[in-house]
Amino acid sequence: MVASGDKLAYGPLTALTEEEGLFQAMAREFATNEILPHVQTMDQESAFDHVLLQKIFAQGFMGIEAPEGYGGSGGSFFLAILAIEEFSRVDASAGVVIDVQNTLVNNALQKWGTDEQKQRFLTRLVSDTLGAYALSEANSGSDAFALMTRVREDSHHFVLNGRKLWITNAREAGLFIVFANLNPGAGYRGITAFLVESGTPGFTVGKKEDKLGIRASSTCELILEDCRVPRENVLGDVGKGYKVAIETLNEGRIGISAQMVGVARGALEGAIHYAQERKQFGKPIAEFQAIQFQLARLATEVEAARLMAYNAARLKDAGLPFLKEAAMAKYFTSQVAERVASECVEVYGGYGFTRDYPAEKFLRDAKIGKIYEGTSFMQLQTIAKIILGA
């Protein structure tokens, strides 16, 4: 259960335009009315509700930035960030589903795809086809370009062989951006991005991971065994897949920042609501100074996290450099989300340790923020390189 309304006020720097405010309200209403009733069941069953996914498509949340000519909404990156935050306030799994779709898959196609690829694939991604981003492998996590998935040329096709791990949305996805190395001797300059459709011969979605958090979001391995991909399905230039990966992930980190802000907000709003209802020693626990100070401190941290995420998104929309700010936002918001979710469990006392209340789920969901789309250590490394001019 999530408390109704946003108890965390907006300051001037987080103020929204009228359009943004209306969009945020729509996203919040959809999350509360359509997603919230399914959250507990989806978490328990580790499966995303198919009908709910169709509703998310129908409301346009899968093509927020995509141009109207391809069936999208033609909105800003910032609007996508608002939707991710509002969905994650209710369910981080729903947040990451639209995050991967908008900030990774759609963005990569918009920037690197040909007109034919956009007409063929982007129109489907905004209407009814879930996308997935397949970069990680068993030995290629933080060392993102140590790829063992190989490619060879064969007449009019490229033939892919290898395995991918930790691929979000894999079970439900109809289109995958798969990274593989055509020329290992050239190192990362041999990496190429391919658009691979589900059902392609030689392409199999493997084991689904049994995860601590974001359980409704499928995370699976991919198996490629002589998977033949047409030449026209190369995304970007041959040997330039590393650019597709780097530039897309830089934007994706802002999406994860928004997810973590949403998780922190959901946890805190629930705790505030509970503290005003739960009575001990004859009065609500919210009247005890210790609880008041704890909630006030957490609210301050959430507002700071929100500022960092919004700032990075605004910079991206303005066409200004945002690499440092994105790394800082990803690092800070994931730290805040875990800390806030953990302390909110304590506000509930023993009830917070049970599944009767949402506090424990927010804590489980928060943990992934420090890990995927660049670990906290990798964000610190990026920040250090920039501020030291390395």
Distance of alpha carbon 221 from alpha carbon 206, whole angstroms: 5
Distance of alpha carbon 16 from alpha carbon 21, whole angstroms: 6
Q: What H or E segment, with its residue span, contains residue 221?
A: strand 219-230
List, as one string, the DSSP characters of 158-202. EEEEEEEEEEETTTT-SEEEEEEES-GGGGGGGEEEEEEETT-TT
- For 324, counting Cβ atoms within 10 Å of its Cβ (0-12 exposed, 13-18 middle, 19+ buried), the class is middle
Query: Closest Cα partner for 312 from 124, 80, 132, 117?
Result: 80
Q: To which residue do tokens 């795809």 refer?
A: 113
Helix (H, G, I), strand (E, B) or coil at 207: strand
Sign, Cα dihedral of 20, 21, 22, 26:
positive
Q: Indicate the DSSP class of residue 209.
A: P
Go through the chain and tell me how many residues it has.
Answer: 390
To 10 degrees, what angle do helices 376-388 and 323-347 make? 140
List, as one string, the DSSP characters of 80-99. HHHHHHHHHHH-HHHHHHHH
Using an 8 Å Cβ cutoff, are 173 and 132 in contact? yes
Out of 137, 221, 269, 373, which one is annotated catalytic?
373
Helix (H, G, I), strand (E, B) or coil at 40: helix
Distance of alpha carbon 315 from alpha carbon 182, whole angstroms: 35
Q: Indicate the DSSP class of residue 105.
A: I
Q: Is 232 a catalytic residue?
A: no
Give the type of residue at 87: F
- The residues assigned a catalytic role are 373
